[in-house]
A and B are shown apart, each in its own frame.
Chain A
Amino acid sequence: MKFKRTMTFALATLVASAFAHAEDRVVNVYNWSDYIDNSIIQDFEKETGIKVVYDVFDSNEILETKLLAGASGYDVVVPTAIFLSRQIQAGVFQKLDKSKLPNIKNMWDMIAERTAKYDPGNEYSINYMWGTTGIGYNKAKVKERLGTDTLDSWKAVLDPENAKKLADCGIYMLDSPTDILPSVLKYLGLDPDSKKPDDLAKAEEAMLAIRPYIRKFHSSEYINALANGDICVAVGWSGDIFQARNRAKEANQGVDIGYSVPKEGALMWFDQMAIPADAQHVEEAHEFLNYIMRPDVAAKASNFVVYANGNKASQELIDKKITSDPAVYPDESTLANLFTTTPTSPKDQRAVTRVWTKIVTGQ
């Protein structure tokens, strides 16, 4: 019996390896939508002969569910750091083999220090892009209603008086409690990382006061809505708002989009590339990560998506307009105002989601 099993196993391995050799080299990448310059993928395929199967998602929750269900079939995935940290605990990822990642020397210590909070020692992930959660707005429409086109405070949306004035032309917010609640807590002068029921209740109260003036909670629609001039204000991710700004410019319909990192402080987030524990193409995945960490490639990616990356050596190759924009690459004073948050425990998560449902549905 035992012999038979060993034989079957040997045969299966033989067949599997024969197929693997016959097959082309492949890497399955699962990244955010609108989050890479396609020529990066083409160049990688040309240089290495590895075929990239590229697939996209638009929320951390979708990615996380696929990973937790197991056998996702992906070799490289890009979760946001606070999601990554819980996924590491659940055993979703494998440790990176740093010997296969010589380009890791290009990474930026300022970012690595911060991502180590989520991934101790950065053993499981490398930073792809990072950014802030702030306010994107239609300059002309906001000026008409608030009398100014420089929004430098969360007050512009979180103060009911202002929100009321902006309501008719439309306010959008991310449908993401991990982004909005810390920002509201910070605006209220509380600890943005707090999971205390009392603090959450205060955030809920502040949000319910402006809820009637918010048109929609959604995490991707606001790019087009801002670019088309359909809405006034969106609380969203920095790079998405820059993409809206660029699309508006291309469309040339007179829509001018601004982005502000509010002076009270804004959330800083990190999108990390990691390799699932059950990945089928580990070797190719490492080659892909190493390629992404090449300064010219990282610079190309940032030029396209208009997010800052965690690659120090790439900075001199990035468009000056991007590196000199404090909304993308914050200067010292802005950086001091940015904050990070830690993951929520499963028990607290229920309370957070409950508060969020109450805010979103207004009941």
Chain B
Amino acid sequence: MNPLRWITNRLVILVPYAWLLIFFLIPFFIVFKISLSTTAIQMPPYEPVFNGTDTWNKLKELSFDNYVWLTQDPLYYRAYLSSVMIAAVSTFLTLLVAYPVAYGMARAPSSIRPTLLMLVILPFWTSFLIRVYAWIGILKPEGLLSQLLISLGVISEPLQILNTNTAIFIGIVYSYLPFMVLPIYSALEKMDYSLIEAAEDLGCTPTGAFWKVTFPLSLPGVVAGCFLVFIPAVGEFVIPDLLGGSATLMIGKTLWNEFFSNRDWPVSSAVAVVLLLILVIPIVFFQNAQAKAEEAGR
């Protein structure tokens, strides 16, 4: 092979690895290093474990006390669990809303598809924070939604949605909808619709054809969309803080408390590392399983 081409090929592969190293692995190791230290009243507020001298001896007396601490207080366990639950429910709800939208877009005449696609992306032009704030105005007891429903005679008392988990679900579904719509749309758009005609010719009902043909073919998009929503939703901080009540326990808020209220950078780093593990391990397992399924399918 041409040596120049060999080098360019290698370089192209190097770019994503460099990206991963600079923006993921190095920050992760900095956080991991802080998670092994102890707090102190100084700037920054922890006792660094490695400072270049005597590294080997320090390596031997490395302490995982902060991780042990996470297992001793049920607060952390409950916060992780409740975050995963809230994220799972919101992901499911997002899927329910997004699938029909994506399906409708994929079946729309190709001339208006770019416009529809544009409409899905359009909300990103406004600040995320402002859009979440807008929901406060809609959902509060004297807000637009209550007033509308009262004037229509549907309800007589103002709705108490703001500061509850319902408001958090609404916020997450609204904010992350495009991340679910786009991958499903791209999966459905590529689909060959003559397959459905074939299924119907062979006596399949429209519903049957959807579940036997359309849905399995869109599954990669559904899975991608679910990951894109679930992962940021687990660590979500802004939406529960603005829309949720004080009773909602989420890991993002717990981390905030450790970092800001307790000034305990080591423990908050440990919380962050564990959160990452909780998210990364299932994803790796899932990808392995998928790779195997693909091999078997061949």
Interface residue A349 (Cβ < 8 Å from any Cβ of B): yes
> Do A216 and B163 form a contact, CB below 8 Å, given A61-B261, A68-B263, A346-B41?
yes
> Do A353 and B257 form a contact, CB below 8 Å, given A68-B43, A346-B39, A346-B263?
yes
Interface residue A69 (Cβ < 8 Å from any Cβ of B): yes
Which residues of A from 49 to 108 have beta carbons under 8 Å from B?
A: 59, 61-62, 64-65, 67-70, 86, 89-92
> Do A215 and B41 form a contact, CB below 8 Å, given A177-B261, A349-B262, A353-B261?
no
Interface residue B142 (Cβ < 8 Å from any Cβ of A): yes
Q: Chain A: interface residue count, which band?
A: 20 to 34
Partner of B41, one of A62, A89, A354: A89
Q: List the A residue with the shortest CB-CB distance to B249.
A: A361
State the interface size on chain B (CB cutoff 8 A).
26
Bound: A66/B43 CA distance, A: 10
Interface residue A175 (Cβ < 8 Å from any Cβ of B): yes
User: B residues within 8 A CB of A349?
Assistant: 261-263
Q: List the A residue with the shortest CB-CB distance to B259.
A: A65
User: B residues within 8 A CB of A360?
Assistant: 246-247
> Do A350 and B264 form a contact, CB below 8 Å, given A90-B43, A90-B45, A91-B43?
yes
> Do A354 and B78 form a contact, CB below 8 Å, given A215-B245, A216-B163, A361-B246?
no
Interface residue B260 (Cβ < 8 Å from any Cβ of A): yes
- Asked if A361 and B247 sit within 8 Å, CB to CB, the answer is yes
Q: List the B residue with the shortest CB-CB distance to A176.
A: B261
User: B residues within 8 A CB of A356?
Assistant: 261
Interface residue A362 (Cβ < 8 Å from any Cβ of B): yes
Partner of B249, one of A177, A216, A363: A363
- Asked if B41 and A350 sit within 8 Å, CB to CB, the answer is no
Contact flags B224-265 to A (C-beta < 8 A → 1, else 0): 000000000000000000000111110000100101111110
Bound: A61/B45 CA distance, A: 13
Interface residue B207 (Cβ < 8 Å from any Cβ of A): no
Interface residue B44 (Cβ < 8 Å from any Cβ of A): yes
> Do A68 and B44 form a contact, CB below 8 Å, given A230-B142, A346-B39, A363-B249?
yes
- Asked if A215 and B140 sit within 8 Å, CB to CB, the answer is no
User: A residues within 8 A CB of B263?
Assistant: 64-65, 68, 346, 349
> Do A216 and B246 form a contact, CB below 8 Å, given A90-B45, A230-B140, A346-B39?
yes
Interface residue A214 (Cβ < 8 Å from any Cβ of B): yes
B140, B248, B259, B261: which has the most chain A beta carbons within 10 Å? Answer: B261
Bound: A80/B246 CA distance, A: 24
Bound: A350/B249 CA distance, A: 17
Interface residue A304 (Cβ < 8 Å from any Cβ of B): no
Bound: A230/B247 CA distance, A: 20
> Do A214 and B142 form a contact, CB below 8 Å, given A346-B39, A349-B263?
no
> Do A363 and B78 form a contact, CB below 8 Å, given A346-B263, A357-B257?
yes
User: A residues within 8 A CB of B41?
Assistant: 86, 89-90, 346
User: B residues within 8 A CB of A92?
Assistant: 43
Partner of B262, one of A62, A214, A350: A350
CB distance from A169 to the nearest CB of B (A): 10
Interface residue B295 (Cβ < 8 Å from any Cβ of A): no
User: A residues within 8 A CB of B140?
Assistant: 230
- Asked if A361 and B248 sit within 8 Å, CB to CB, the answer is yes
Bound: A275/B165 CA distance, A: 42
User: B residues within 8 A CB of A177?
Assistant: 261
Bound: A272/B254 CA distance, A: 29
Contact flags A181-225 to B (C-beta < 8 A → 1, else 0): 000000000000000000000000000000000111110000000
Q: List the A residue with the shortest CB-CB distance to B42.
A: A90
Bound: A86/B261 CA distance, A: 13
CB distance from A226 to the nearest CB of B (A): 14
User: B residues within 8 A CB of A214?
Assistant: 246
Bound: A67/B260 CA distance, A: 12
- Asked if A354 and B246 sit within 8 Å, CB to CB, the answer is no
Instruction: Pick 25 A–B contacts, CB within 8 A, sort by A.
Output: A61-B260, A64-B260, A64-B263, A68-B263, A69-B43, A89-B41, A90-B41, A90-B42, A90-B43, A90-B45, A91-B42, A91-B43, A177-B261, A215-B163, A216-B245, A230-B142, A349-B261, A349-B262, A353-B261, A353-B262, A357-B75, A357-B257, A361-B246, A361-B248, A363-B249
* Known pairs A230-B141, A346-B262, A349-B262 / 15 extra A-B pairs, C-beta < 8 Å: A59-B260, A61-B260, A64-B260, A64-B263, A67-B43, A70-B43, A70-B44, A91-B42, A215-B245, A216-B245, A217-B246, A350-B264, A353-B261, A354-B75, A363-B247
Please report B residues at the A interface, Cβ cutoff 8 Å: 39, 41-45, 73, 75, 78, 140-142, 163, 245-249, 254, 257, 259-264
